[in-house]
Amino acid sequence: MITSTTTLVPDSPAAAYDAYRQAASAVFLAGTQGLKYRKEHYELAVDLSKAGLSYIEEEGDEIDIGAMTPLWQIKISPVIQKLAGGAVSRAISDIADKDIQRYGTLGGVISGKGAFSVLLPILLSLHVDVLLQDKGRMSLEDYLQCPPMGELVTGISIAREEVYTAYKAYRRPSRSSCHCPVGQ
């Protein structure tokens, strides 16, 4: 797990981003499911748990999801289950590590830009904008291609539209975990 000299628990995204930008080295604490495997030391850890970023809201023709919303909560949300034939909920169910489902957050997945993510391809097939503190919004596709900019992801907006989906996740087994007899 990472360590830090100081930890702050700001009560707004603006305060969180301000503190993060002013520190010589800083990290956001979200669900800590990625950070628990890392060993770096930071001057400041900015705990986002009280920054008001956990929500799922219907706003006109968009659905807004806050960055600190845990993945399990997105998975069971009736609003999300109705969206795109439930593909987003099913993608979260396919995350093999149950701790990631339980504690991992949307912001952690989006900012991680993981090529192995089962959730990002589904979101890329919808119209999704990433909301950034002090930097406005940009399409998820553009955001994923940007180099890290030290940004705070505050959430995403998904366009509510009639789409038809077919969904299948396939993870290629690693050599060590494949026990298939040769030739089958």
Residues that bind ligand FAD (CB under 6 A): 27-35, 37, 67, 95-97, 100, 104-105, 107-109, 111-112, 114, 117-119, 152-153
Contact present, 98 and 91 (Cβ < 8 Å): no
User: Residue 99: which H helix or E strand, with range?
Assistant: helix 98-103
Taking alpha carbons only, the member of 44, 39, 45, 47 closest to residue 12 is 47
d(CA 36, CA 38): 6
How near is the Cβ of 160 to ligand FAD at its closest, in Å?
22
Which residue number, 63 or 132, has a Cβ lying nearer to ligand FAD? 132
Taking CB atoms, the residue at the shortest distance from ligand FAD is 108
Which residue number, 63 or 131, has a Cβ lying nearer to ligand FAD? 131
Which residue number, 115 or 182, has a Cβ lying nearer to ligand FAD? 115
Which residue number, 10 or 31, has a Cβ lying nearer to ligand FAD? 31
Which residue number, 60 or 136, has a Cβ lying nearer to ligand FAD? 136
Q: Helix, strand or coil for residue 136?
A: strand
How near is the Cβ of 128 to ligand FAD at its closest, in Å?
14
Taking alpha carbons only, the member of 48, 64, 160, 172 closest to residue 118 is 172
d(CA 108, CA 41): 19
How near is the Cβ of 97 to ligand FAD at its closest, in Å?
4
How near is the Cβ of 184 to ligand FAD at its closest, in Å?
26
For 166, counting Cβ atoms within 10 Å of its Cβ (0-12 exposed, 13-18 middle, 19+ buried), the class is exposed
How near is the Cβ of 162 to ligand FAD at its closest, in Å?
26
